[in-house]
Amino acid sequence: MKTLGLLGGMSWESTATYYRLLNEAVRDRCGGLHSAKLLLASVDFAPIAGMMRADRWHEAGVSLSQSARVLEGAGAEALVLCTNTLHKVAPQIEAAVSIPLLHIVDPTAAAITAAGFERVGLIATRFTMEAEFYVDRLRQRGLEPLIPGESDRIEIHRIIFEELVLGRVLEVSRRALQQAIARLAARGAQGVIFGCTEIGLLLAAADSPLPVFDTTVLHAASAADWALEP
């Protein structure tokens, strides 16, 4: 079993989900008392979030690259960046280390293709929905991402940063996400990507009007597969 280095804390709520999913995957695959070999660098999210809001992405990349080098030095054999939005600086992190970064979009795109879908909605932070780094990687894999309208993007972003990263789960926000997904379905979306690692804390797949591709679940499963490859 190989050792995974988790870059977490963005937010710690979803990082805890990664930790659970990775250990459950190893337990289920290996049986007995087996658990995942993990190293965790959990950052203070407040400074990173401030850099994001101020469009100081390079500084965020420098900070995360430092943590990535610490993980590599401690023995990590691959990196798992436990957030969607900060994959905007994934190339910067990759350039700072010699071990692979297991990109969150790749297993997500593979699952969508395996389901036979091409046109999929994307709900996430505004940084992820409105920048090209995420949707371009989906397009490169033959997919057609749809992002919500302006008012939905504003509300989804607010729910993530004012509620979910603080551990607040509100029924009114669950309904708001369901309505946003329904509007994507009306535009022809065949499924929806939970493109923020906290969304699954609020909305289960059974609650969605469309088939769900939860990036946290898919990313963790793919990372467990990598760790357990001979």
Together in a domain, 109 and 192: yes
Together in a domain, 28 and 63: yes
Q: List, for residues 143-168, the tens digit of each pLDDT value.
A: 999 999 999 999 999 999 999 999 89
Whether pLDDT at 83 is above 90: yes
Q: List, for residues 3-59, the tens digit of each pLDDT value.
A: 999 999 999 999 999 999 999 999 999 999 999 999 999 999 999 999 999 999 999
Together in a domain, 79 and 121: no
Together in a domain, 113 and 154: yes
Total domains present in the chain: 2
Together in a domain, 65 and 11: yes
pLDDT at 58: 97
Q: Where are the alpha helices (DSSP H) in the chain?
A: 12-30, 45-53, 57-74, 90-96, 105-114, 126-130, 132-140, 150-162, 171-186, 215-228
Q: How many CB atoms lie within 10 A of CB 53?
A: 10
Together in a domain, 82 and 42: yes
Written as one string, the DSSP assignment of 59-82 is: HHHHHHHHHHHHHHHHT-SEEEE-
Average pLDDT, the chain: 96
- Cα–Cα dist 144/35, whole Å: 37
Together in a domain, 111 and 87: no
The answer to whether 196 is a known catalytic residue is: yes
Whether pLDDT at 197 is above 90: no
Which among 15, 83, 125, 197 is annotated as catalytic?
83
Q: Which long-range contacts (CB under 8 A, 24 or more apart) does 31-36 make?
A: 34/1, 36/1, 36/4, 36/224, 36/227
The answer to whether 82 is a known catalytic residue is: no
Mean per-residue pLDDT for 97-105? 98
Together in a domain, 68 and 150: no
**% of the chain residues with pLDDT over 70:** 100
Please say whether the beta carbons of 227 and 36 come within 8 A.
yes
pTM of the model: 0.93
pLDDT at 230: 85
DSSP state of 133: H
Whole domain around residue 42: which residue ranges?
Answer: 4-103+218-228
Please say whether the beta carbons of 69 and 184 come within 8 A.
no
Together in a domain, 123 and 147: yes
Please state whether beta strands 144-146 and 38-42 pair in parallel, antiparallel, or not at all (unpaired): unpaired
Together in a domain, 180 and 120: yes
Together in a domain, 129 and 96: no
Q: List, for residues 201-228, the tens digit of each pLDDT value.
A: 899 999 999 999 999 999 999 999 999 9
Together in a domain, 81 and 147: no
Which among 108, 128, 196, 216 is annotated as catalytic?
196
What distance, in Å, lies between the first and last C-alpha atoms of the chain? 8
- Cα–Cα dist 129/135, whole Å: 8
Nearest alpha carbon to residue 182 among 138, 152, 213, 214: 152
Mean per-residue pLDDT for 73-101? 97
User: Tell me, what CATH number does 68's domain have?
Assistant: 3.40.50.1860
Mean per-residue pLDDT for 119-130? 96
